[in-house]
Amino acid sequence: MTRPILIAALALAPAMANAQELVTRNRVGLPDAPNTLTFRLTAYDLYSSDPATSEAFEEMFRDFIEARPDWKIETQLQTGNIGQEQARLLQQTRAGRGPDCAMIDSSQLATFRDAGVLQPMNAVFSDEDVADLFPYVREAVTDEAGNVLAWWWFTDLRVLYRDTSVVPEAPQTWEDTREAALAAVEAGKEGILFNGGRWEGTAFDWLGNFWAQGGRLVDDEGGPVFAEGENRAKFLEAVAYYQDLVESGAAPRRVTSITDYDAFNAAAAAGTAAMFVGGNWQYGQMRNTLDPEAFENWEVSELPGPTADQRATGTGGWSIAALSDDPEKAELCGEIGKEIYAGPGNAFQGLLPTSEATYDEYDAYDGPEFDLFAEALQNGVARPGAAIYPEISNQIQILLGNVLSGTSTPEEALDAAASAVQAAYDRQ
């Protein structure tokens, strides 16, 4: 009985080995395929540390490349240090040493576009595809001539998470939030947590409070205006909101040391926090890590505004773009975005698609939380498409750290930030 099994296994072995070799740690496709596309991707999908995710993407990439036997994709992995990686990618591309196709963080798209390194992928995306994108996404990925310079394939947003056993009703305003958080502190919890340390998440999560009042970071030419005129007052109001949360004890002082979203998951798992400002993707993470009973207590709502009618939330996500001027390679890059990431890849990971049609196409988006996310996205604001944004973000991180730790007053900190950003802008 064992002998026929062994013979069958030996006969199948080469075929199985061949199938496995189609996706390796640095290649998708057969090694001797005549055409090569170099692709710099992130570690969140094909090479994810989560086996289920990497297996699902391996299958998608395998199907993709089997339909294109003349091609192989040489993969290059980006590290998690987004700012550094994206700066390096831009530098290499400018020097002619960049990959043919790459994942570009949505906040960096404008920098790449202004540098003139993005190649059109018009052959892949129809006018209908483009028209179906959310407006802020469409604006970011197309140029004035209507060329599709990148495909922003998923977006994300910031929401308020709350433990309904402590905070039953979703706070609608900043004042509601403060009161709910103080009541939670009375009940022995940390009232509200948010990113306040030195990293991009701090600036981005807080910016919703500035944008909710109609504040603008840059003008139409990309020059910094956040500390001028009406923007200045709105900026200071938003800083005062966070400062008041900390000084009143509604938020613990430790927020100035929080530099990742995992800290909120940990607090939710430990049952020590009543509310936190987090990303939509954390909903799925919490569902997978918390006890079902504990998870039932957690709900999401839109970020509170200065008034219930003034709302905004920062929207991020990743895009895929062709950096090679070879039209065939640009087309293949677009096809990877369209056939893998924007559709089944998004649905598998539960990421928020950037086009309305995808929500209807996949059952993965049937959960009630996606209705809330879709609603909140109506108030979504993307980071400005200006090369000065990274420095504005850096200065906001410094400003919030100084104000929340009591080192500076909001006015002093804003003046210092405005001066530093202007100096950097003058040098660009």
Partner 1 sequence: MTTTVERAPNDGHPAPWLAPAVLVLAVFYAVPVLDVARLAFSDATLIEPATGFSTQALRAILGNPALPQVLGTTVLFVAVNVLALQVAGLAIALLIVRGERRELPGMAAFRTLVLAAWVVPGIANGLIWQILFDEAPYGTLNSLLGYAGLGPVAWLSDPQMALVSAVIANLWQGTAFSMIVFYAARRGIDPTLYEVADLDGAGPVRTFRSITLPLMRRAIAVNTVLVSVQTLNTFDSILALTGGGPGRATEVLSLFTFNTVFYNLDLAGGSVLALMLFALGMALTLLIGWLNRGEARA
Using CB under 8 A, list all residues that contact partner 1.
83-84, 87, 90-91, 94, 111, 114-115, 190, 196-199, 252-257, 259, 263, 266-267, 270, 272, 387, 390-391, 393-394, 397-399, 401-402, 404-405, 407-408, 416, 419-420, 423-424, 427-428
- Is the CB of 2 or the CB of 49 nearer to partner 1? 49
Measured between alpha carbons, how far is 204 from 214 in angstroms, rounded to an integer? 15
* Min separation Cβ 272 and partner 1, Å: 5
* Min separation Cβ 395 and partner 1, Å: 9
What CA dihedral angle connects 245, 251, 256 and 258, to 10 degrees? Answer: -140
For residue 2, the SS3 value is helix
| In contact, 384 and 110? CB cutoff 8 Å | yes
Maximum pairwise Cα distance, the chain: 85
* Min separation Cβ 256 and partner 1, Å: 4
- Is the CB of 160 or the CB of 399 nearer to partner 1? 399
DSSP for 154-211, written as a single string: EEEEEEEEEETTT--SPP-BHHHHHHHHHHHHHTTSEEEE---SSSHHHHHHHHHHHH
Which is nearest to 245 in space by CA: 190, 205, 203? 190
* Min separation Cβ 105 and partner 1, Å: 13
Which is nearest to 287 in space by CA: 302, 272, 274, 298? 298
* Min separation Cβ 11 and partner 1, Å: 46
- Is the CB of 107 or the CB of 379 nearer to partner 1? 107
- Is the CB of 22 or the CB of 110 nearer to partner 1? 110
Question: How far is C-alpha 355 from the chain's CA centre?
Answer: 16
* Min separation Cβ 280 and partner 1, Å: 23
List strand residue ranges (DSSP E) for 114-264, in order: 151-163, 190-193
Euclidean distance between the first and final Cα of the chain, in Å? 75
Measured between alpha carbons, how far is 28 from 71 in angstroms, rounded to an integer? 9
- Is the CB of 85 or the CB of 335 nearer to partner 1? 85
Measured between alpha carbons, how far is 26 from 12 in angstroms, rounded to an integer? 25
Measured between alpha carbons, how far is 104 from 86 in angstroms, rounded to an integer? 7
* Min separation Cβ 137 and partner 1, Å: 23
Measured between alpha carbons, how far is 256 from 253 in angstroms, rounded to an integer? 6
The residue assigned the tokens 């008041």 is: 244
- Is the CB of 83 or the CB of 284 nearer to partner 1? 83
* Min separation Cβ 204 and partner 1, Å: 14
- Is the CB of 275 or the CB of 312 nearer to partner 1? 275
Element (H, E) at 85: helix 82-94
Cα→Cα distances 11→5, 18, 22, 297, Å: 10, 12, 19, 54
- Is the CB of 78 or the CB of 346 nearer to partner 1? 78
Q: Which residues contact 153 (CB under 8 A, 6 or more apart)?
A: 317, 318, 319, 320, 337, 341, 342, 345, 346, 353, 354
- Is the CB of 26 or the CB of 428 nearer to partner 1? 428
* Min separation Cβ 357 and partner 1, Å: 35
| In contact, 278 and 159? CB cutoff 8 Å | yes
| In contact, 251 and 426? CB cutoff 8 Å | no
* Min separation Cβ 216 and partner 1, Å: 21
- Is the CB of 349 or the CB of 408 nearer to partner 1? 408
Which is nearest to 194 in space by CA: 105, 258, 270, 102? 258
- Is the CB of 263 or the CB of 376 nearer to partner 1? 263
For residue 76, the SS3 value is strand
* Min separation Cβ 114 and partner 1, Å: 8
